[in-house]
Amino acid sequence: MLAFLGVAYADTPLSTARKNRETVLWRFFDPVIVDNTIAPFVTSGDVMESYSIDALTYARRWNHGLSEAPIMRLALDNWATDWHTDYKGPEGSTGLEVSAYAHSGSNGNTVGTHVNLYSYGTNNGAALDQGYAVGVVKGGTNGVWGFAGQITDTTHAQPVGETWGMEFDIMANGDDLPVSQYDVSRSNRVFYFLSAKTLTVPAWSAFTSYSASDAISASFRGECGIFKAIVPGRSGASAPPWDSNDVVIDNSVTWSFSEMCQNVVGAGFEFTTDSNSRFNTGIGSSRVTYDNAFIDLALARNNMNVAAGAMIRFPLDGIMDWSADGTAEGKNRHIMFYDRKAGFLYVANNAVRMAIHDDGSIVLPGSVHTGSLVLKGTMQLQPLSRTAILGITTAKEGMMLNDSTDHVPVIYEHGHWYPLKLGHEIAN
Q: Are residues 404 and 361 in the same domain?
A: no
Same structural domain for residues 321 and 360? yes
Residue 91 resides in a domain: no
Are residue 392 and residue 412 in the same domain, yes or no? yes
Residue 321 lies in a domain: yes
Q: Please report the pLDDT score of residue 97 as a whole number.
A: 84
pLDDT for res 36: 55
110-to-46, 71, 168 alpha-carbon distances in Å: 32, 25, 18
Is the domain of 405 the same as that of 354? Answer: no
pLDDT at 414: 93
Per-residue pLDDT tens digits for 250-285 = 999 999 999 999 998 989 899 999 999 999 998 888
Residues 231 and 244 placed together within one structural domain of the fold: yes
307 inside domain: no
Statement: residue 32 has pLDDT above 80:
no
Question: Is residue 372 scored above 90 in pLDDT?
Answer: no
Does the structure show a pLDDT above 70 at 66?
no
The answer to whether position 279 is within a domain reads no
Rounded to two decimals, what is the model's pTM? 0.70
Residues 372, 422: one domain?
Answer: no
Are residue 373 and residue 392 in the same domain, yes or no? no
> Is residue 426 domain-resident?
yes
Q: What is the CATH number of the domain that holds 423?
A: 3.40.1620
Residue 244, domain extent: 209-260
Q: What is the mean pLDDT of residues 357-375?
A: 79
Assess whether 373 and 325 both reside in one domain.
yes
Residue 72 is assigned to a structural domain of this protein: no
Provide the number of structural domains found in the chain: 4
- Does 425 share its domain with 389? yes
Is residue 332 domain-shared with residue 348, that is, in the same domain? yes
Judgement on whether residues 337 and 391 belong to the same structural domain of the protein: no
User: Is residue 362 very low, low, confident or very high in pLDDT (cuts 50, 70, 90)?
Assistant: confident
Tell whether 304 is covered by a domain.
Answer: no
